[in-house]
Amino acid sequence: MQALPLQTPSTEPSVHLPVGELSRRLAAELASAAAICRDCEHLAGDLAQGGATLANLSRLQALDELSQRLHGLSEILERIGHHASGEWNVSINPLLSGLGLSDMVVRLRADEPPGERAEAGELDFF
């Protein structure tokens, strides 16, 4: 017996994305965030060379842990992307609704033209 997805009424057209593809895109976003954390670790380490308090060293360790967590989550999502059934789809619009980083929304959207994906890790400055 196979479970059928619930139909939710919506006024806007719903774009469905295979779960595997969404998972791979999310993995790329997390990998990019982990890379930013690693760069910040090096920068913070350089700044702390002149002497850092115990509290600041603890914060550096927390940044290292954050980097490792992001990397680990990225790997898990990448694996989900490789093992997800091609029949699994998700409506992408409700997931992206209200997300503040417009470049990330573009990268995660299903209607994004292939080959024109922006590099992960860009920020919206306002």
Domain ranges for the chain: 17-85
- Measure the CA–CA gap between 53 and 120, rounded to whole angstroms: 33
What is the C-alpha to C-alpha distance for residues 46 and 49, in angstroms, rounded to an integer? 5
In angstroms, the CA 108 to CA 23 distance is 10
Q: Is the pTM of this model over 0.95?
A: no
Tell me the residue length of the chain. 126
The alpha carbon torsion through 74, 77, 81, 82 (nearest 10 deg) reads: 80
Question: For every one of its 126 residues, what pLDDT tens digit does the chain have, with 9 covering 90 and above?
Answer: 344 444 444 444 467 889 999 999 999 999 999 988 888 887 777 766 766 677 777 777 888 889 899 999 999 999 998 888 888 888 888 888 888 888 888 888 855 444 544 454 455 444
Query: How many contiguous H segments (helices) and E segments (strands) does the chain have?
Result: 4, 2
